[in-house]
Amino acid sequence: DGGITQSPKYLFRKEGQNVTLSCEQNLNHDAMYWYRQDPGQGLRLIYYSQIVNDFQKGDIAEGYSVSREKKESFPLTVTSAQKNPTAFYLCASSSSGRVNTGELFFGEGSRLTVL
Amino acid sequence: GEDVEQSLFLSVREGDSSVINCTYTDSSSTYLYWYKQEPGAGLQLLTYIFSNMDMKQDQRLTVLLNKKDKHLSLRIADTQTGDSAIYFCAETFSGGYNKLIFGAGTRLAVHP
């Protein structure tokens, strides 16, 4: 079945450590996104990538880094510079076809807790 | 700038209709969306409406769009306990490729 897989689902980190969240899609989508979700604040865009080897900062990129070496993979690293990293992280992808409603397909999310 | 606003909480009785409201700011949005999020899970697209439409109906779901007031609503008929979730309104971001701007989400609680 086609979809987006995020791992791990739950992750605990000590302060000062970098962690990398995995996101893989087999939908053959060109565009991929990382969102952060906090209670009562909705989703905020961290980074997005429209094509392999290219990505742009979203609204809250500070303290995060990404790479897009393969079409199907868009890992997110939460660095020690991120001041408040405890959150639910959602990866998404979208098609770039001619008939494009802009719909995003989401993974199941990764919950990061800093101890 | 772009902004999408929703009320945070709605409680309804099972079998009644639910109406979730949303206001947005970007009048050039091509599509507007309703996503559903169940606890601990990702978001799933419920429905979307093209900006030149006033209404879209899909089984128990009715979407109404008032472009003049930049108001979007989602009506769920015969609400069931399985409809309990967070519902997100989203608009396309005119300045970027396939970027969506999300509201904070409305938590729908359905009680017997």
Q: Which of A61, A67, A76 is nearest to A109 (CA)?
A: A76
Amino acid residing at A71? K
| pLDDT at residue B87 is higher than 50 | yes
B98 beta partners: none
Over residues B54-85, the pLDDT tens digits come to 999 999 999 999 999 999 999 999 999 999 99
Q: Give the contacts of B58 (CB within 8 A, at least 6 positions apart).
A: B47
For residue A1, what pLDDT is reported? Answer: 67
The chain B residue lying nearest A48, using CA atoms, is B99
The chain B residue lying nearest A104, using CA atoms, is B45
Question: How many beta carbons lie within 10 A of that of residue B41, not counting itself?
Answer: 15
Q: Which of A52, A29, A34 is nearest to B99 (CA)?
A: A34
CA distance B23 to chain A (A): 14
- Alpha carbon distance B101, B103 (integer Å): 7
B48/A contact by beta carbon, under 8 A: yes
- Alpha carbon distance A69, A96 (integer Å): 18
The verdict on a CB contact (< 8 Å) between A103 and B97 is no
Please tell me which residue, B81 or B25, carries the higher pLDDT value: B81
In B47-56, which positions are buried (b, 16+ CB within 10 angstroms) versus exposed (e)? bbbeeeeeee
What is the pLDDT averaged over residues A81-91? 93
Residue among B41, B48, B103 minimizing CB distance to A101: B48
| pLDDT at residue A10 is higher than 90 | yes
| pLDDT at residue A99 is higher than 50 | no
Residue B8 token pair: 């945070």
A27/B contact by beta carbon, under 8 A: no
